[in-house]
């Protein structure tokens, strides 16, 4: 079997992977948490590094044969420190949720209080939501957004912090279309003596590219995935500026939560960080925001209700209630038309999470394909056509036509990393 290709060993799986590659090539990918990685990142991910176990950290391993692995992990760490301007980085977390769990393990005991953004308002499960381990094992207080603006009310955050005296405060989330005020969160955290954790999973690439303010110098610890706007593999990182916080985080990741790191992922993270340090990545990050704002303007002009009225970053959250349709049927119809989105709750949503009022869209992937504001206006028009047709109950002809037009567009903008 050694040396045989996937196609010869498992043609059924090879066929499915090829089908997914075709689907990704032919689809306008608007899911805010997804992107296309480069061929270099893909190559690093699929290497013999997956064969090696490496419990511990560079220079302090529990397995021998780490001469090369130590260099690879050190390279990734140094690149993360340089790119984000931090003193310490841990590139071992398997993904974003384990990275956030490590923050709890590093700084809290079970039953301690955490203050995070509520899931229905744009927060993440691991910020203390009830169905997450973080909501079951810790005492969670939750902030939201103002009903009139759709934006975080920092006065409310401070009031909750003073009332509950959390040991940990999370800022950041999964459906926040506006700039996160890291200095304001830091001031509140200092006032109540809490550790401030900035979860920049969605905006890490924008931070690295200078298109969003950085939490460095404000947050005590920073958590991020590597596979969204950063255009890396499915992994995560934890960063800190102080030795004390870094030591606690390292112990929490290993041996607290994990065994050996995924060395092939570490290598791919190193590649993505190298790419993000290049001048063209700054242009990419800026274009992501320009595209999101152009798409938001187009949708608003067509009568869509945008949470907070628009966007400052890569993400748009829409309440489809005025359009007379729920988020789930809209997302399903858009997918059939080649426009890939996800249905999502909106603030103060009266509907259930599995059948919510909104959809969430983003521009990282379409920007990676080289699309610009003109294409965003066309995409906005297609979204409007499909949603309007579905709401009227007569959508199949529109869906078929839009799908063909989407295919014509994607053929003009090849996706990175795909053959």
The residues that are catalytic are 53, 55, 199, 225, 228, 234
Please report where in the chains the tokens 């279309």 appear, as a residue. Answer: 177
Residue 418 known to bind ligand = no
Residues 373, 323, 32, 38, Cα dihedral to 10°: -50
Residue ranges with strand state E in 179-327: 195-199, 221-225, 236-240, 305-306, 315-319
Residue 119 known to bind ligand = yes
Residue 123 known to bind ligand = yes
Which distant-in-sequence residues (6+ apart) come within 8 Å of 284 by Cβ?
205, 209, 367, 368
Do residues 365 and 36 touch, judged by C-beta distance below 8 A? yes
- H or E stretch at 97: helix 96-107
List Cα–Cα distances, 241 to 106, 189, 215, 245, 288, in angstroms: 15, 16, 11, 8, 28
List Cα–Cα distances, 101 to 93, 95, 105, 308, in angstroms: 10, 10, 6, 30
Half-sphere CA count of 186, side-chain side, radius 13 A: 14
The encoded tokens of residue 1 equal 């079997």
Do residues 261 and 226 touch, judged by C-beta distance below 8 A? no
Helices vs strands, H then E, count in the chain: 16, 15
Give the gyration radius of the chain's Cα atoms: 22
DSSP state of 242: S
The encoded tokens of residue 181 equal 């005020």
Closest to 240 in 3D by CA, of 370, 131, 86:
86
Residue 227 known to bind ligand = no
Cis peptide before 121 (omega within 30 of 0): no
Residue 340 known to bind ligand = no
Instruction: Give me the count of residues in the chain.
Output: 419
Annotated binding site for (6S)-5,6,7,8-tetrahydrofolate: 119, 123-125, 244
Annotated binding site: 119, 123-125, 244
């Amino acid at each position: 079997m050694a040396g045989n290709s996937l196609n010869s060993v498992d043609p059924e799986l090879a066929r499915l992977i090829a089908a997914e590659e075709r689907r990704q090539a032919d689809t306008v990918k608007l899911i805010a948490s997804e992107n296309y990685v480069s061929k270099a990142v893909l190559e690093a991910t699929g290497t013999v590094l997956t064969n090696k176990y490496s419990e511990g950290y560079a220079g302090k391993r529990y397995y021998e044969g780490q001469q090369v692995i130590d260099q690879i992990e050190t390279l990734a760490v140094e690149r993360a420190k340089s790119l984000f301007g931090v003193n310490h980085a841990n590139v071992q977390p398997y993904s974003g949720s384990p990275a956030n769990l490590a923050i709890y393990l590093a700084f809290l005991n079970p039953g301690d209080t955490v203050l995070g953004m509520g899931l229905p308002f744009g927060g993440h499960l691991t910020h203390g939501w009830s169905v997450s381990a973080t909501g079951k094992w810790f005492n969670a207080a939750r902030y939201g957004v103002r009903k009139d603006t759709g934006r975080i009310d920092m006065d409310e955050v401070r009031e909750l912090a003073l009332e509950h005296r959390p040991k940990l405060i999370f800022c950041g989330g999964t459906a926040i279309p506006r700039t996160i005020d890291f200095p304001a969160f830091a001031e509140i955290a200092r006032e109540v003596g809490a550790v401030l954790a900035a979860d920049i999973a969605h905006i890490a690439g924008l931070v690295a590219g200078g298109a969003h303010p950085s939490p460095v110098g404000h947050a005590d610890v920073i958590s991020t995935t590597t596979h969204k706007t950063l255009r890396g593999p499915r992994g995560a990182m934890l960063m800190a500026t102080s030795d004390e916080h870094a030591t606690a985080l390292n112990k929490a990741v290993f041996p607290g939560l994990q065994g050996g790191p995924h060395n092939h992922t570490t290598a791919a993270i190193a590649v993505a960080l190298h790419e993000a340090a290049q001048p063209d990545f700054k242009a990419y990050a800026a274009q992501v925001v320009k595209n999101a704002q152009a798409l938001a303007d187009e949708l608003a002009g067509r009568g869509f209700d945008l949470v907070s009225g628009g966007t400052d970053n890569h993400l748009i959250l829409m309440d489809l209630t005025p359009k007379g349709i729920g988020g789930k049927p809209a997302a399903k119809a858009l997918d059939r038309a080649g426009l890939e989105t996800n249905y999502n709750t909106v603030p103060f949503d009266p509907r259930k999470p599995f059948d919510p009022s909104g959809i969430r869209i983003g521009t990282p992937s379409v920007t990676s394909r080289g699309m610009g504001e003109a294409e965003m206006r066309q995409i906005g028009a297609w979204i409007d056509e499909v949603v309007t047709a579905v709401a009227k109950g007569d959508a199949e002809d529109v869906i078929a036509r839009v799908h063909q037009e989407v295919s014509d567009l994607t053929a003009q903008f090849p996706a990175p990393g795909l053959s």
